[in-house]
Structure formats: C-alpha cells, structure tokens
Structure 1
Amino acid sequence: MEFPQVVRRAQASGWEVGGGLTPTAADWLAEQVPKLVELTGRPVRSRYRRPGEPDVWPRADAILFAPITMNSLNAWGLGLTSSLPVGVVAEAIGKRIPMVTMPCVNAAYAQHPQLPRSIETLRAAGVDVLYGDGGFVPNPPGEKRPFPWDLALRAVEVVAGRR
C-alpha cells in the first residue's frame, strides 16, 4: 500500500493528516509527495523550518511514525534529532502527545544490541512500539512483504482514545 492510500484510510476514520519524512524517505517517495500534499492540504515536511517561518502543522492529537527504520528508531531512543520526524516525536514525548511507532527492520538488523534498548527506552517514555508479538516481526534480509498498516492505524485509534 502506498502512502496516499494510508492517508485516505486515516482520513476516512476522521483524522486530519500531516506528513513528515526523513530526507531519505523524501527521496524514496518523491513521486508520491505531490499526491500527499493534495490529500492533506499541507506541505509534506522533510526539514526543520527556519526561524520565523510559520508552522504548517496544527498540534497533533496523535502521531504515527511508521514504518520507522532502525536508524530513526535508534536516533529517537537516544534523543538524536538530526531529522525533522525524529525531532517532532522526541519533542512530542514532552508534550504528552499519544504516539505509535512500528519498526520495519530485517532480522539481521534486529540482532544489533541497540535496537531492543531503544525500543525499551521509547516504551518507558510512553510510546506504543509495535514490535514483536502483536506488532512487526522482522523478516529475513531481502524478503519483501506488505507493511501491516491496518495494525498501525488501529493502534493510533487506541492510544488517542478513539477505540
């Protein structure tokens, strides 16, 4: 499922959606960004705004950061905010905004000792991390399979108190 389809599904559930991408994701999804802008009515951000620049996003009722790579998950767990999405969710912990994240890592990355530490740090901070039983289960390196968007979207409904 492409991101525009995910946005439409969230909107059908009553969510007002905004989009933020890491610079790498912005490059990977460049062809989908115009459709995301059209659907959301807002710019899709992939960089921090400049001082004095207005914020194009209202305060979030909930945040879904998915799929999140090992790099972004570990940066978030360590408080390293060099990319806009990681900075937004790091700050959202302090703002007490309900959040869900679902990693998308292969089984080789999952063996790195920092990954479970970052997951535990984020869970202790109140983030609903959908990983392992009932969440994302790592696939073998190189194996492609659909991302479980339904599970992620349902979890956002739960943390936001809509279910």
Structure 2
Amino acid sequence: MGCAAPPVVHVGGVIQRAQALGWTVCLGLTPTAARWLEGDIDRLAEMTGFPVRSAYKMPGEPDVWPPADVGVVAPATFNTLNQWALGITEKFVVGFAAEGIGKGIPLIAMPCVNAAYVRHSQFHRSVAALRDMGVRVPYGDGGFVPNEPGEGRPEAYPWELVLDAAQAARGGVR
C-alpha cells in the first residue's frame, strides 16, 4: 500500500525486488498516490498481474486480489498513519490496513514524514497505537528517520528495511 509521499514514485523497483524474493505482490495506492503514478498504473498492474487499487470494490464484486500473507503500508504519510490509528477508513489503503489488524495479517508501516510532522503530538500517539495493535513500525533507530521540511531525499527512503520487515513478518529472514 503506497501513499502520496515522494518515494512512492520508486514503487516499481520495490515490486521487482519483492518478486525476486518470491513474493506475489498486489499494489494499493491512496487516491493522490494513484494520481501521481497515473501514467504508470497499467505497467504496475502488468508487473504484479493484479489491478492496482485505489478505491473500494463495489458491493457484490469479487475480490481481485489473493488473500494477503503480509501487508505493507509504505511510504506511510502523516495523514494515513493517523487515519489508520484512529480507525478512519474512508480510503481503501487505510481500510485494507485496519481490516488486516482484525484478520491477524502481519502488518508493516514505514513512515515517510518530515520532522515538522513528527513534532505534532498525534504522530507519536498514532505510532504507539499502531504498535500496540501489533503493527511493526520501523521508525527511529533502525528505521525511517525524518528530514527537516524541504530536505527530503526520496531515493534514500529505506525500502530495504521495509522488505526485511515483511520477510521477517512472513517468517523468513532475508
């Protein structure tokens, strides 16, 4: 599940790395992330073999994805982390992740926020709440470390930590 943070533009390469590890990958995006990747959606769907989703399916429609062994939300924005922690599921990505908690699916959320957002007290409450619900949140030492506003480096986002956490959650070590 990808959110509208600059590293999402590199999700195609991450999909390829996950597939090289033997994963079947499905891609969900927030509506804004889907808009950012609009020109790549067909290519990403072809890569995964599944439709890229950014909206809930209609009632009665079959699910087009196989059941998940692990769920990853990365890059996870301030907005998505807070909505997820608070159970506000208007977006498909947040609904998938929130339901995943109840289904017992191992979940990883790698933040991608700048230091100004981290200074907002809700960020720490949301990270703590998600961790209390069993979500692995690689943040801080050994995880995502925020930059000051305007100093982001999308190419330096630690996707390898996301893949390592997913592999560990699946029961394997990379």
What's the TM-score, normalizing by structure 1? 0.98
Letter in 1 for 2:169: V
Partner Cα separation in structure 2 for residue 144 and residue 89 of structure 1? 26
**Residue 23 (structure 2) aligned to one of 11, 15, 23:** 15
**Residue 111 (structure 1) aligned to one of 108, 113, 119:** 119
**Residue 43 (structure 1) aligned to one of 51, 70, 73:** 51
User: Equivalent residue for 1:94?
Assistant: 102
Letter in 2 for 1:30: E
**Residue 150 (structure 1) aligned to one of 160, 164, 167:** 160
DSSP 3-state at the match of 2:72: strand
User: Equivalent residue for 1:138?
Assistant: 146
DSSP 3-state at the match of 2:73: strand
What's the TM-score, normalizing by structure 2? 0.91
Aligned-residue offset at 1:119: 0.4
Contact kept in structure 2, 1:3 and 1:32, CA below 8 Å: no
- Note the aligned Cα RMSD (angstroms): 0.9
What is the aligned length? 163
Partner Cα separation in structure 2 for residue 121 and residue 144 of structure 1? 26
Aligned-residue offset at 1:32: 2.0
Contact kept in structure 1, 2:114 and 2:152, CA below 8 Å: no
Moved over 6 A (4+): none
Aligned-residue offset at 1:111: 0.5
Partner Cα separation in structure 2 for residue 61 and residue 97 of structure 1? 6
Aligned-residue offset at 1:51: 0.6
Contact kept in structure 2, 1:62 and 1:160, CA below 8 Å: yes
Aligned-residue offset at 1:52: 1.0
User: In the alignment, does 2:130 pair up with 1:126?
Assistant: no
Greater fraction helix: 2
Letter in 2 for 1:151: L
- Which structure 2 residue ranges, 5 or more long, are not aligned? 1-8
Percentage of matched positions with identical amino acids = 56
Partner Cα separation in structure 1 for residue 10 and residue 124 of structure 2? 28
